[in-house]
């Protein structure tokens, strides 16, 4: 498996695989994350990893696996 080398973007699709939007919105409010910006553009994984929270770390790990698949298999980004 190829690992992402640079800071990658965690997207709303990554979040929704593991958590509901409402929970994500509440998490964002608690941690000073602009919800609309996250929904539209995503967030750097490093920003979520800097938060000591299991939910954030689980979403980053899911996103890391997605990015690794995309790097290994071009065209895989269409799959969740």
User: Is residue 2 situated within a structural domain?
Assistant: no
| Structural domain span for residue 17 | 9-78
pLDDT band at 1 (very low <50, low <70, confident <90, very high): very low
In the structure, what pLDDT confidence band is assigned to residue 7 with cuts at 50, 70 and 90?
A: confident
Whether 23 maps to a domain, the answer reads yes
Q: Give the total number of structural domains in the chain.
A: 1
Span 20-71, pLDDT tens digits: 999 999 999 999 999 999 999 999 999 999 999 998 999 999 999 999 988 8
Segment 19-28, tens digit of pLDDT = 899 999 999 9
pTM assigned to the model = 0.81
Structural element, H or E, at residue 5: none
CB crowding 6-30: b at 16 or more within 10 Å, else e: eebebbeebbeeebeeeebbebbee
User: For residue 15, what pLDDT is reported?
Assistant: 93
């Amino acid at each position: 498996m190829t690992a992402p080398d640079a800071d990658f973007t965690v997207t709303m699709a990554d979040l929704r695989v593991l958590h509901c939007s409402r929970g994500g919105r509440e998490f964002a409010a608690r941690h000073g994350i602009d919800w609309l910006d996250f929904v539209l553009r995503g967030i750097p994984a490093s920003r979520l990893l800097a938060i000591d929270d299991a939910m954030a770390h689980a979403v980053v790990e899911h996103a890391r696996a997605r990015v690794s698949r995309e790097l290994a298999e071009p065209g895989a980004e269409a799959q969740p």
